[in-house]
Structure 1
């Protein structure tokens, strides 16, 4: 009888598997980040970036980003359990013990920063560590719960990937990588606030002071529209300062028109489906902006 009760109890307990550890690292988010890293690396040199710092840089930055995402899972596990979108995450559903997740996050983070310091350069390692701490601790542990401007302030850490890619190749800072970082920084609020509008009820029930919860949907829709125009202005700066040419200008103008069409639909508020659709398009938009930067970079070199 006792064995039967033990077996029944064990069957009721959630079981974690190795894919849960991969899930902690938010691989799809990290993949988008690595695309931005590659663009920063490519733009840092007139030709193809050298193989060794490219491979070690991508690996180190990817590991550190996965570690930061895992720390985010740990710190947000109670909030995640209250929201339908995140309730099935490994820690929120209590499949994975918190101690295992902390160990995994620490291993990923130390391995990533250590690899960058060993095989790339100290500047990239320190900047990656600062981004990791900024996202995992400053944003997740404090800003997310403290202010509706959490996305704007915390966006600095999330905007770092192209800057890290540049420093991995050159070992130094400059106006160009800071501009690449500024593009991601300006894009982050309209990207994430569109999702926040769609998930307004869940954030409110979880007690997270996202902008739609504290200031209402109408105000947030206006901010999406205004920050969208800021993003448009910033994405034109590479052409203005001579960092890119007419290939980039033509491509980014097309992308910006489509981007602002979606932001306009969010602003007007006539469709409940518009915020989520705008959120998904904004991911394709930022990838497209960096793609045309690459095409212009190598296309201009080919035709010159």
Structure 2
């Protein structure tokens, strides 16, 4: 997260201090977009713990997370290849290895193909076919629907494309149960609705870059004021839907209490964005949104794992 913000500020150093095999390893590591992979694996593991009502078998956890990481690395690499022209124009992305010529596009595609084949095979053979196909579907959606289509043509790119980032909980649940369940869909919904305010907060800090690259993010197409209103609207929907899982008996009171507290903080930060003409409030919301997602995952896990005493 801190490295993302430093790149937004234009303060990130050029990643060329290392040489030889260490530089090559670092470049391929960055090609995989490890920070995104970490977030995806957090939600995958949370769903696995929810499904198992405890820590799932270690072998199953290892293969699920490794297979998911390889699949996500493949999608990230293809994104870097496809977007290398616009990545060169933005401060936040200009040091990506394909954009700066450290990795040739054809080599990045070979890496992506090997990672995807390995990830799919690992999930299919060592986890189960449903988890493998769900992971592949999420990657295909991210690459074909978001990266190659929506990103450059509509300000709704983040709204529609956000479904790809919400698939990992379904993979995690399927890995444990060989089917899908309502708690997994609850986590899917939270991530799907969380994505627009999270990325629109980022776009308020980087709208000049997006404008230079010709990417139709909401602030550049509809204006900053409209973006701030949309952040507030989506935040209200996010918190409202997240709270609804308690009265609908999808999740219990432990989750409900945590969701209420975390949601109120999220709404407060979203509200402050509307009245702040600087980048400070969007930065605060962007940083908190990452913490919010992690704590919501933890709340769902605790709700499923920790039994509450019955009141007589």
TM-score (norm 1): 0.91
1:219 to 219, 226, 230: 226
Say which of 262, 275, 290 aligns to 2:269.
262
- Cα separation, 2, equivalents of 1:237 and 1:49: 27
Aligned to 1:117: 124
Deviates more, 1:41-50 or 1:63-72: 41-50
Residues 52-131 of structure 1 aligned to structure 2 (within 5 Å): 52-131=59-138
* 2:48 corresponds to: 41
Contact 2:204 2:279 in 1 (8 A): no
Q: Give the aligned CA root-mean-square deviation in angstroms.
A: 1.6
Residue segments in structure 1 that go unaligned for 5+ positions in a row: 1-13
More divergent stretch after superposition (103-112 vs 242-251): 242-251
- In 2, distance between residues paired with 1:114 and 1:81? 34
| Residue number among 289, 295, 303 corresponding to 2:296 in the alignment | 289
CA contact (8 A) 1:265 1:271 kept: no
Which of 170, 173, 177 is equivalent to 2:177? 170
2:158 to 151, 161, 170: 151
How many Å apart are 1:191 and its aligned residue?
Answer: 0.5
Which one of the candidate residues 266, 270, 276 is aligned to 2:283? Answer: 276
Q: 1:51 aligns with which of 52, 55, 58?
A: 58
Q: Say whether the 8 Å CA contact 2:67–2:123 is kept in structure 1.
A: yes
**Among candidates 179, 189, 202, match of residue 186 of structure 2:** 179
Matched residues in 1 for 2:121 and 2:184: separation?
23
**Shift in Å at residue 227 of structure 1?**
0.2
> Aligned partners of 2:276 and 2:71: how far apart in 1?
38
2:252 paired residue among 228, 245, 258: 245
Instruction: Decide which structure has greater helix share.
Output: 1
The ranges of structure 1 where at least 4 consecutive aligned residues each deviate by more than 4 angstroms after the TM superposition are none
CA distance in 2, matches of 1:93, 1:184: 32
- Residue number in structure 2 paired with 1:5: none
Work out the number of aligned pairs and report it.
290
The structure that has the greater radius of gyration is 1
Gaps of 5+ in 2: 1-18
Q: Tell me by how many angstroms 1:247 deviates.
A: 1.8
Alignment match, 1:200: 207
